[in-house]
Amino acid sequence: MYSAPASSSSDTAERHLEQRGFTQISTRAVYPARTEFPAGQEFFGASWITCPDRVERAYRSYMTLPLTTDRLVIRDWTADDAEAAYQIYGSSDVTHWLTPAMDRVADEAAMRSVLQAWQEAQPNLIPPRGRWAVELRSDGRVVGGLGIRLLPPYREDLELSWQLRPEEWGHGYATEAARALVEWAFSQDGTDELFAVARPSNSRAIATAERIGMSWVGETTKYYELRLQVYRIRRGDVV
């Protein structure tokens, strides 16, 4: 993964962006329009590692969860979460905005299969990659999901993503959960920056990225064959 100094000047930061493939057009940094999609991309970003020497490291960091905040618990998904997860990933109001573009999960049985795949993959993912449920501390209800995965096509940049049940929008849960996950991610070796991507019309996601502390760095068609706004947060941005 590329690592840039947290205290870069504006000029130096622009050079780093150019080295990553950005171009500057009317003060807007734009990624190159390369749209290859990685072979073997699995549903909702589930993937496996095949390097035995890194499994132990993955397992140790995996065991640092769950995370808790004032109102939330961030924990691993289980198959028993299928009903609650279906209220998220079975909602067209949620899946309409997902990247990559995809249809909603058809039913609870399909959702259970997805969760089982996530469960099997989770212990083997190199931190900070993974997918987690977000539940309320007050009553244990699952209200959302979080993820960190590698962005296509080059699988070098880490993407932070969040999804909430539509009826839970507007309470600040996504911001609270994502901030906690960002802090945990930056405690992992080699994690220096995280990205988030959003469709230009997804004002909720853009506002959440900004509340998390992410900065806009450009517009791209590089990821998922979609025109997306790109936000970034670096280790040095987290106080």
User: Looking at this protein, which amino acid is placed at residue 62?
Assistant: Y
Sign of CA dihedral 73, 75, 79, 84: positive
Q: Is the residue at 2 inside a domain?
A: no
- How far is Cα 131 from Cα 165, in angstroms, rounded to an integer? 16
Indicate whether 159 belongs to any domain: yes
Give the pLDDT confidence of 52-103 residue by residue, as tens digits.
Answer: 444 444 444 454 679 999 999 999 999 999 999 999 999 999 999 988 767 8
- List the CATH number of the domain containing 111: 3.40.630.30
Count of domains forming the chain? 1
* Dihedral angle, C-alpha 59, 141, 98, 155, nearest 10 °: -10
Residue 212 lies in a domain: yes
The tokens of 5 are what?
A: 């100094």
Condensed to tens digits (0 to 9), the pLDDT of residues 119-140 reads 999 989 999 999 999 999 999 9
Q: Is residue 3 part of a domain?
A: no
Residue 1 lies in a domain: no
Q: Is residue 5 part of a domain?
A: no
Residue 200 has pLDDT above 50, yes or no: yes
Structural domain for 174, as ranges: 10-237
Q: Does some domain include residue 4?
A: no
Q: What is the pTM assigned to this prediction? A: 0.76
